Chain A
Amino acid sequence: MTAPRTPSRAPRALVVLSLIGGTLFVLPLLGLLTETPWSRLGSILSDDIVVDALVLSAVTSIAAAVLSALFGVPIAWVLSRLQFRGRAIARAIVTLPMVLPPVVGGAALLFALGRNGLIGGFLNDVTGFSPFSVWGVILANTFVAMPFLILTVEGALNGIDRRHEAAAQTLGATDLEVFRRITLPMIAPSLKAGLLLAWARSLGEFGATITFAGNLQGRTQTLPLAVFVNLQSADREPALAISLILVAISLTVLVSLRDRWWGAR
């Protein structure tokens, strides 16, 4: 290697590569925009299919993010703070849905919670739970989304200065109070990031949902399902309109929340 006599060279290479890579993201977006039936967009967007899917997706993705936090934060805490045998395996299991094809995840959920699954029959008798319901969608979404929250929060728990927790203990705080008043506020930025990631993953979730919860307009047909099903029909315009909505919502939320939550960095 020679001395860096042209210091601008490496950055320029980075810029060129980043531009080439960037077209991978921009071109499909442009493709979607050019295919979109702009003149009929208003009437398509007020279509029952679109409105139902939009409402369902909003409800289920937010519910899945909240559930991911409710159970994911304790899981992250256990993984970070408790020493126990099989912790590495436990961590692998709860992050498995990140690498598992979602369709496999949905099928696995059916084998467990479907009518003929491990506990599905019992669950149905006791609670009336059926996968073909809003709850099925929320469950499938939570299954694929929670690992993102767990990983983010566990990283934060490992990263904070735990002597602050000790200090709180000496001031009389019980373990639960320490968690609520010290640990949780200290990991708040990462928790928000984890919530956002989990929500985004839920909003785009397709494979596990359609495999586990099926596809019925107004009950289990979320935005991605509506796109997929309608792309197969002769009339693709609703699919394109819904895709446009997904892009718009995602961009708006990612831009505004990212700036608000991490903008100071």
Chain B
Amino acid sequence: MRLGGFAVGGLALCLLATSCSARSDDDLVVFGAASLTDVLQAAEEQFEQDNPGIDVVLNLGGSNALREQIRSGADADLFIPADPEIMAEAIAAGDVDGPETAIARNELAIAVPAGNPADVQSLSDFARPELLLGICASAVPCGQLARAAFATSDIDPSLDTEEPDVRSLLAKVAGGELDAGVVYISDVAADPRVELVALKAWEQQSTTYVIAPTSGATNAAAAKRFVDFLQQGEGRSIIQQFGFGSVSR
């Protein structure tokens, strides 16, 4: 009984305190779009090697979800959404300090299972009703871009699913459950199980990743150094290495 009581009491104290693992001052907390997962993990490793004493902490997720966390007071130093409009809104709301810096570009691509069994050649194949086809949900940037691509190409897609994020769409294509999916070009490069079918130039849509410190950032010096690293330092070549387009300065 006594020991159990102590355990419960300890748990309660821990819950009442703001956090059980308080953040160290040397931490640099980066909120990044899920599509940047591989890039940011590689960048973190390199940056920490170059800057001993700075510990980069990543929080990766859907751009809108991350924006919502910052609005609710999440402890972030840097914000990298996959959609410049989300950044613009966050700056306008005063949650992020502008101006933002563009660090990478991404384009759409068609992912097909190995061997391309349905012989998908272009975005217009998404009008074929006999195929199983997917895009991202309109709620996430990759879905909005895909919708925009269909609209500008005047294609009425025969869709079977709108996945909540690009990774689960990619997984269904990789597993052969879908004949094709509209994803980011960087995702196709990252997954050996799928093949890339390039969009025609007139079908193409792209997005830009922008970075800016939050208004509540506590580690401004480190934040600035990380932005520089991604924009012009070694981070820039890492971004290209993972299939993202570079941004002209």
Contacts and interface: CB of A to CB of B under 8 A. Distances in A.
Interface of A: 110, 114-116, 130-132, 210-211, 213-217, 219-221, 225, 228-234, 236
Given A115-B132, A116-B177, A214-B134, A233 B64 contact: yes
A115 B164 CA distance: 21
A47 B168 CA distance: 26
B162 A214 contact: yes
Contacts of A210: 163-164, 168
A215 B140 CA distance: 13
Contacts, number: 68
B137 A214 contact: no
A91 to B, nearest CB: 31
Q: Which of A116, A130, A219, A232 has the most CB atoms of chain B within a 10 A radius of its CB?
A: A232
B67 to A, nearest CB: 8
Given A132-B160, A228-B164, A114 B137 contact: no
Interface in B150-191: 159-165, 168, 172, 175-177
B89 A229 contact: no
Contacts of B163: 210, 214-215
Nearest to B67: A234
Contact of A216 (B62, B140, B162): B162
Contacts of A215: 137, 161-164
Contacts of B164: 210, 215, 225, 228-229, 232
Nearest to B113: A116
A132 B161 contact: yes
A220 B161 contact: yes
Contact of B176 (A115, A225, A230, A236): A115
Given A115-B132, A210-B164, A220-B161, A234 B175 contact: no
Contacts of A232: 62, 64-65, 137, 139-140, 164-165
30 contacts: A110-B175, A110-B177, A114-B175, A114-B176, A114-B177, A115-B177, A116-B175, A130-B160, A131-B177, A213-B161, A214-B161, A214-B163, A214-B172, A215-B163, A216-B161, A216-B162, A217-B162, A225-B164, A228-B164, A231-B65, A231-B139, A232-B62, A232-B139, A232-B140, A232-B164, A232-B165, A233-B64, A233-B139, A233-B140, A234-B89
